[in-house]
Structure 1
Amino acid sequence: MQLNYHAIFLSLFGTTLLTGLPRAFAQNVPSGPTVRAVIADSSSRQVLPYVTIGVVNEHGSPVAAAYSKENGTFSLQLPGSGHFRLVVSSVGHRPLHLPLNAAHGAPALPDTLWLATSSRQLGEVQVVARKQLIEQKPGMLVYNAGNDIGNKGGTAADVLRKAPALNVDPQGNVTMRGSGTLRILVDGKYSGQMARSAADALNMMPADIIQSVEIVTTPSAKYDAEGAAGVINIITIKNGKSFSGALEVTASNWEQAINPRVSLSRDKWNMSFHGHFHRLQDKSAAITERTSLKDGAPTQTLFQEKRQNNVMPHTSGELTVGFTPDSVSELSLNVNAWLGSWPDGSRQTTRIRLPNGTFADAYLQDARKKERFLGADISLGYNRKLKRPGQEFTAMAQVSPTGGNSSYASTQSAEDGKFRSREENFSKTRNTEYTLQADYSHPLSADGAFMLESGIKSIFRDANNNYDVWYADAPPPAALDFLADRSDKFSYSQTVLAGYVLMKMKFKHGWYAEAGARLEHTGMEGKMRGGKDAFSNTLLNFVPTATLSKKLTDEQTLSLSYAKRLTRPYIWDLNPNADASDPSNIVVGNPSLLPEIMHQGELSYGFTPSSGLFLNLAAFYKQTDQSIFDLTTTNDNGVATTQKQNLAGNRRYGMNFSSAFSITPKWNMNGNFNLNRLDYESRALFIVSKGWATDVNVNTMYKLPGNVSLQAFGEYSTRQVTFQGHRTPWFFYSFSAKKELKETKMTVTISAINPFNNTLSQTEVINTAAFRSSVLNRYYDQSLKLTLNWEFGSMFEQKARKKISNDDVREKGGE
């Protein structure tokens, strides 16, 4: 990287003024008039904080100094009357010199002082400072994943596992403060890949492209109301280079991946691309024991042992093209596409024992599941910065076509190998989504202290699922019989029309207030083949949000916020196609699901002293009505059926503590502690389930001589309450070492995942009046991973892009 030494000199000059002048002029100095203005960038039209402002007299000696605030304003009192010169300087901009004639009162200054961007090349220097691993910003916590060496060669799931207030279970499902009904965005943009299955999508995104993660616990009215728990925004790396890129190759005993990315810019055009080619092996085992009850006495006990070992090849890529016709306008095209094969084959042994000890049945189940998927998000964006600083208009459009073919072939045989039955289910899903969005921000005051934001948005979804089921109780070559009662076509459409208004206000003495409201109209329609079992529902949701914060000191902030959120069911929750590949455990959708509605309050305290310490403490309370949860029931034969329902509400409250600090200049540490209580109550089902849960993680990094870094990470999650039972504790840990070869711009990272444990285990327990069950899941993830990363290219400044943020689709598998 190169620096402009002239700009550095001016900045140091300004710093000297700021530190030296208060002492030099501490005596009685004649007071003069005050000058005020706003500092802004002439190209981006955005205000510039912390710009150095100095005043020199006719002899060139410094006589006063100040710096601009976060909103770009400054106020500076002159030492007396006379002729002066104002010097405004900021790194990356040309210095501004203005005469000040204070001989007859306050000199006249424009309301806004515009600084032009410097085009001079900067000399090469070594950067010794870096962002904190965790930062606090208004309304969010930010985890700077690019500074964490343990993420090399990993996936987005590995990154989120270390972020504050988040928890990632062994299956890759993400929760925020114990709740999984959240939205995951990529660069502020909705992703159909995330909507299909967040856990799968996170495993398809390489950690190498992630710059930071924004955790928004109480989103404002600007965000879609969808996502009761909150919003996660994954920010990817924007290569600021005229021609640059990176190639990452990783290999372990469970996965192999190649991740290329490239960026180039010329004149008014710029382009970036990143790809992901991933082969992942997924091995697991499960032991199930379920006892059916009648009047409290056991009637039969089901024993199952299941093993899975699947290889899942998949790929994804994203292309962004930007065009800036002038200094205030920008056009962008973004295409994100993905495809892959996600098999889920298994072999399972089942035995059913009666209370007298005899076995009523025993069989082997061989299930071969396949899922092939293909999808894309294609978006166009236009952004224009208007005349006033902070005044901006954005318009965006996106189309997201996705499709997938899933099927299973399940064969059942006796323990002696004699054929019993076979079943095949063929399912084809097609989904198209269109989004139109426009946003406008308008400053209501010259200093930007009062800002009004507004916008409108429309989403149109159309999904179809055709499924056919075939069955035979005779071995091949006997023909399969078509089961018309279990075959159908499910069509579902959803329309969301929304608008919002948000007011942001900065007051004196460190007070900040934000209040907004969003109105969302939702129309849902569904039907089976021939129009049978048709249903429709129309909802109008008023979604208010509010935040009040006080900057107690330069280092301490106290904030109180409220948000109303909702979670809509989607086609995966509604689809009535039953997965009966295991005839003793059936999973089916529920077309009659309604959205859940949540109210949340949060009180947070932030402490960020100049020493580099970061501390955030938050207490929260959530009330959810008609919550969406999994309900498992059994019939007289002991067959279990799992389906999502709205038959309960819940309360969740607790606290979250996050901290990052340096033990020594070479030894850093950060950690998170989450404590929450979940209370489920269903009057319809006469079920009450309550309990506390805790999860804690610790991450530490130490720098050795020779550009070598070491890192260790560990996470422990205690027993967690579910609607019908609980999940047992689990523990995850890893060690990493990184060597940087600066001459070749090569980085070598070696990581050990759970090196002392062959599997990661967790048991799911359900206790009801009709049955009690436990499922012990073991996930094979012990691995040794080697990652090579090579970076190339030269620097240039690339603008960040705004993209569609459809954060209103419930991810598959959220709870």
Structure 2
Amino acid sequence: MKYQLLILALLVFLAPFEGLQAQTTTGEKPVYKITGKILDGETGEPIPYAAAALLDAESMQNTTGAVADLDGEFVITGFKNGKYILQLSNLGFEPFKTQVIEITTGNTNVNLGEIKLKGEAIGLQEVTVQGQRALIEEKVDRTIYNAENDKTTIGGDASDVLRRVPMLSVDLDGNVSMRGSSNILVLIDGKQSAIVANNLADALKQIPAEEIKSVEVITSPSAKYDAEGTGGVLNIITKKNNLQGASLNINSSAGLRGSNLGLNASLKRGKMGWTLGGYGRSGYNILGSFENTQTLLNPNGSDIQIQQQAETRNNMLFGRYNLGWDYELNKFNFLTASVSVGVRNMRNRQEGLLTNTFIEDVLANSLLRDVNVDNLSNNIDFNFNYTKSFETPQKEFSVSGLYSRSNNNNDFVNSLYNGTFTDIASRVKNENLGVNEEFTIQLDYVTPVGNTGTQILEYGAKNILRKAISDFAYFTAEGSDGEFQQIDDIAFSNEFNYDQNVSAAYASYTLGFLENYTVKGGLRYEYTNINADFKNSELPADIPSYGVFVPSFNIGRKLANGNMLKAAYNRRIQRPSLQFLNPNINQANPQQQSQGNPLLDPELTDNYELAYSTFIGGSSLNFTSYFRNTTGSIQPVRTISDNDVIFTSFENIGSEKAVGFSVFSNINISGKFSLNGSIDTYYAMLTNGLDDPMFAASNEGYVVSGRLFGNYTLPKNWQLQAFTFARGRAVQLQGSAGGFGVYGMSINKQFNEKRGSVGFGMDNFFTKEFRIKNELITPTIMQESTVGLRNMNFKINFSYRIGKLSVEGSRRKKRGVTNDDMKEGGEGAAGAIMNNN
């Protein structure tokens, strides 16, 4: 605890201390800067995020530019002596050009004062077409997918949205990977809650697609972000309403596979605002199938083949609701707070799980089971933030706090029929109550250095107190109505307590130089202390504490016509999440059992990246290449138990390497028709580093995925959208995961001055059932499994907005806590152990 107190006390002392700023003298070298403030010519209100481009007066080529902040103020740097014209533009306003501005050695700092733009006098339909925001935006440090412009996801959840995002891959179970790595840091509105730490795939199903505004993909995070997430950072931005007035929005969808109902209300009066919103989503009677054939190779005896098959049926109910509050104390002080509650209930049924065992092709026995798995959870998050800004632009200090708790009951009942398959002979039940609790405090300070506006210093500190509990027990019963009796064995009935304390401090420095170059470097230090023990055992889990330095370096060069070249290096750490640590034995399928390992160490990954962005006409292209090297990789170890069961555990063994390349493009064919798509490919090299030929494993190969999205605006406020995504076979350490593809289409019409919309959507309408084939190959195991999912869906979409809003909302930037530190199970994971899925 002394490390945390020392770091926090040091930051509180240093944050407002002006003496830390390295002042840059300007007497020897002139400061080249053009500033101004952009206002609405009719109301006099500032216009946030307006674009300011500095054009060469002779060629009219763009030389540099900037984007106005929330107060409409802009600062342009990165130019030299010459003659220029400043061009200002923003949606809904007429473009504005200044007279020629001549920059000389004696006139390098120009303040244009207030500039007022006129409203654009064109029809409403034309505004919609011309002002349609790009579906994909490329920024200096991230790629942004504007999900609010994609109507094909209506009625879906966050996993449906993420399938459309470049550089991401999402399998049909909702497991997410970024450029082949499932070890990613996932934030929701810049912060991570306990529900994400439990199981990312399940957490995404709690967030309806209609609630997502955009998704940010950050492949090379700076030191400001937690060191967690070897693949990068994924930030899901939900819709917020900072406008004045009162409004109520109703959003609903009803379909064959699932339905949802959402309500969002906002009230803003003066400096105080309230928001109340929530979405509920249900999925019902989702049918599927399961087939599995595993051959156990016994060098000293007879080979055993086990065949399994069953019909599956899933029902689910998700909901998440949020109450938010914000208050602008004055021009420089801003408060926000929110409380969010959620529920997640999923019931999975395997009806008639038939298991046939063959010895040397002779049927030895047949077993019939019914398996019922109930995954029921609830969670609550409370977030508080105080932000202080200053007269100096870009200078800001903030304090954030987060409390998060998630309760998860994951139980299963396995009923075994008698030899004639007529009556239930016995039952086995597993109850597993999991609790995830976090408390976080974070301090951040941002300040410009000098007067040029080209240097930014950021530093801060953070402390995360995390507590996890897994209370598990096994019970047996005779017949279909016998009373359950608890198994008296600490391996099957115990309570595991896991306390983790992560303290961190960081510093990051951004410098613009040589007109078109920007470099951003930083260093972060994290110290982790862990205490773990079993309630019913005298032996504690002895896990040593550890500290790690995490450097990051990014450099970018602006080229002609807005093109950009970027290079980056960073080191990341990946702590195992609770699903890899939980010692509860998962026996929902008795032939394939798994158990977590509380003694796992973190992974370390070095990432190298080179990217190039360009524009051709009205279209954008991005090319990215990368190399990733992971040591201490957490890998599954599969063995055969005495009763011919495949048993999976986890160890820090081996390494992972990946060399990849991706390209994506946003093409504007006309003002009404646009396309965007991407192709991602990487070559994976995996090894577990073991010498024993019975357990040694390695694998390598290409993984390719692609996506395509089309949007067409029709007359009279009709809009047509279509989407498709496909991923090929995924390489795993001991086999492969089969490829799959999904697609969807929707048509929507707006009415009543765009207050309402109604539409029709279809998902996978030509495919009755997806069948995904997976392989597992070891010296002693050969397994082929096929999972079927019937997710064809037809849906009706409806939304309507009540109330009147104006643009006089608060213009303060909101910050939040970002907890970024759990390795999640992704594609190829042996299963969510914490949740017994």
* TM bracket (short chain): 0.7 to 0.9
> What is the total number of aligned residue pairs between the two structures?
759
Give the residue type in structure 1 aligned to 2:523. Answer: A
Q: Which moved more, 1:226-235 or 1:464-473?
A: 464-473
Partners of 1:133 and 1:144 within 8 A in 2: yes
Q: Which moved more, 1:404-413 or 1:208-217?
A: 404-413
Give the residue type in structure 1 aligned to 2:155. Answer: G
Q: Provide the C-alpha distance between the structure 1 equivalents of 2:716 and 2:267, rounded to a whole number of angstroms.
A: 32
Q: RMSD of the alignment, in Å?
A: 3.4
- 1:344 alignment partner, one of 342, 348, 353: 348
Partner of residue 147, structure 1: 149
Partner of residue 22, structure 1: none
Matched, 1:302 2:315: no
Matched, 1:665 2:675: no
Give 1:798 shift: 4.3
Matched, 1:683 2:689: yes
Matched, 1:401 2:408: no
* Pair 474,156 (structure 1): closer, same or farther in 2 beyond 3 Å: closer
Per-residue deviation, residues 537-562 of structure 1 (Å, max 9, x unmatched): 21111100101111121321111101
Q: 1:673 is paired with a residue of what secondary structure?
A: strand
- 1:494 alignment partner, one of 492, 495, 500: 500
Partners of 1:38 and 1:47 within 8 A in 2: no
Partners of 1:347 and 1:364 within 8 A in 2: no
* Pair 386,633 (structure 1): closer, same or farther in 2 beyond 3 Å: same
Matched, 1:728 2:738: yes
Q: 2:195 is paired with a residue of what secondary structure?
A: helix
* Pair 642,535 (structure 1): closer, same or farther in 2 beyond 3 Å: same
Q: Provide the C-alpha distance between the structure 1 equivalents of 2:441 and 2:278, rounded to a whole number of angstroms.
A: 27
Give 1:202 shift: 1.5
Q: Provide the C-alpha distance between the structure 2 equivalents of 1:211 and 1:154, rounded to a whole number of angstroms.
A: 14
- 2:594 alignment partner, one of 587, 594, 599: 587
Give 1:354 shift: 2.8
Partner of residue 14, structure 1: none
Matched, 1:514 2:527: no
Give 1:108 shift: 11
Equivalent residues in 2 for 1:749-768 (5 A)? 749-768=759-778
Partners of 2:295 and 2:303 within 8 A in 1: yes
Equivalent residues in 2 for 1:436-447 (5 A)? 436-447=441-452
Matched, 1:73 2:53: no
Q: Provide the C-alpha distance between the structure 2 equivalents of 1:599 and 1:52, rounded to a whole number of angstroms.
A: 37
Q: 1:72 is paired with a residue of what secondary structure?
A: strand
Q: Provide the C-alpha distance between the structure 1 equivalents of 2:372 and 2:273, rounded to a whole number of angstroms.
A: 46
Partner of residue 190, structure 1: 192
- 1:433 alignment partner, one of 410, 413, 438: 438
Give the residue type in structure 2 aligned to 1:139. Answer: D
* Pair 78,141 (structure 1): closer, same or farther in 2 beyond 3 Å: closer
Equivalent residues in 2 for 1:211-222 (5 A)? 211-222=213-224
Give the residue type in structure 2 aligned to 1:795. Answer: S
- 1:557 alignment partner, one of 564, 567, 573: 564
- 2:393 alignment partner, one of 369, 378, 389: 389
Partner of residue 13, structure 2: none
Matched, 1:794 2:805: yes
Matched, 1:808 2:821: yes
Partner of residue 129, structure 1: 131
Partner of residue 696, structure 1: 706
Partners of 1:183 and 1:807 within 8 A in 2: yes
The one of the two structures with greater contact order (alpha-carbon pairs below 8 A, sep at least 6) is 2
Q: Provide the C-alpha distance between the structure 1 equivalents of 2:435 and 2:360, rounded to a whole number of angstroms.
A: 50
Per-residue deviation, residues 583-637 of structure 1 (Å, max 9, x unmatched): 212121111211111111000000134x321110000100011112333322243
Matched, 1:180 2:182: yes
Partner of residue 273, structure 1: 276
Q: Provide the C-alpha distance between the structure 1 equivalents of 2:53 and 2:730, rounded to a whole number of angstroms.
A: 52
Partners of 1:48 and 1:72 within 8 A in 2: no
* Pair 78,230 (structure 1): closer, same or farther in 2 beyond 3 Å: closer
Q: Provide the C-alpha distance between the structure 2 equivalents of 1:571 and 1:608, rounded to a whole number of angstroms.
A: 44
* Pair 659,346 (structure 1): closer, same or farther in 2 beyond 3 Å: same
Q: 1:193 is paired with a residue of what secondary structure?
A: helix
Q: Provide the C-alpha distance between the structure 1 equivalents of 2:441 and 2:390, rounded to a whole number of angstroms.
A: 21
Q: 2:633 is paired with a residue of what secondary structure?
A: strand
Equivalent residues in 2 for 1:446-485 (5 A)? 446-473=451-478, 476-477=481-482, 480-485=485-490
Is there any run of 5+ residues in structure 2 with no aligned partner, and where? 1-29, 56-61, 68-73, 94-101, 830-837
Partner of residue 201, structure 1: 203
* Pair 304,117 (structure 1): closer, same or farther in 2 beyond 3 Å: farther
Equivalent residues in 2 for 1:48-63 (5 A)? 50-51=51-52
Q: 1:581 is paired with a residue of what secondary structure?
A: coil
- 1:783 alignment partner, one of 776, 793, 814: 793
Give 1:172 shift: 1.2
Give the residue type in structure 2 aligned to 1:252. Answer: G
Give the residue type in structure 2 aligned to 1:460. Answer: L
Partners of 2:619 and 2:665 within 8 A in 1: yes
Q: 2:560 is paired with a residue of what secondary structure?
A: coil
* Pair 601,744 (structure 1): closer, same or farther in 2 beyond 3 Å: closer
Give the residue type in structure 2 aligned to 1:263. Answer: S
Q: Provide the C-alpha distance between the structure 2 equivalents of 1:47 and 1:239, rounded to a whole number of angstroms.
A: 15
Matched, 1:526 2:532: yes
Per-residue deviation, residues 239-287 of structure 1 (Å, max 9, x unmatched): 2432223211101111111011122210110122220111112432110
Q: Provide the C-alpha distance between the structure 1 equivalents of 2:156 and 2:483, rounded to a whole number of angstroms.
A: 47
Give 1:116 shift: 10
* Pair 504,481 (structure 1): closer, same or farther in 2 beyond 3 Å: closer
Matched, 1:548 2:551: no
Q: Provide the C-alpha distance between the structure 2 equivalents of 1:188 and 1:124, rounded to a whole number of angstroms.
A: 37
Give the residue type in structure 1 aligned to 2:509. Answer: M
Give the residue type in structure 2 aligned to 1:810. Answer: K
Q: Which moved more, 1:222-231 or 1:580-589?
A: 580-589
Is there any run of 5+ residues in structure 1 with no aligned partner, and where? 1-32, 55-64, 80-85, 94-101
Partner of residue 249, structure 1: 252
Q: Provide the C-alpha distance between the structure 1 equivalents of 2:193 and 2:618, rounded to a whole number of angstroms.
A: 35
Partner of residue 572, structure 1: 579
Q: Provide the C-alpha distance between the structure 2 equivalents of 1:756 and 1:34, rounded to a whole number of angstroms.
A: 62
Give the residue type in structure 2 aligned to 1:555. Answer: G
Partners of 2:621 and 2:666 within 8 A in 1: yes
Q: 1:509 is paired with a residue of what secondary structure?
A: coil
Q: Percent identity?
A: 25
Matched, 1:653 2:659: yes
* Pair 668,744 (structure 1): closer, same or farther in 2 beyond 3 Å: closer
Q: 1:603 is paired with a residue of what secondary structure?
A: strand
Give the residue type in structure 1 aligned to 2:146. Answer: N
Partners of 1:631 and 1:724 within 8 A in 2: no
Partners of 1:190 and 1:807 within 8 A in 2: yes
Q: 1:200 is paired with a residue of what secondary structure?
A: helix
Q: Provide the C-alpha distance between the structure 2 equivalents of 1:114 and 1:439, rounded to a whole number of angstroms.
A: 31
Partners of 2:375 and 2:411 within 8 A in 1: yes
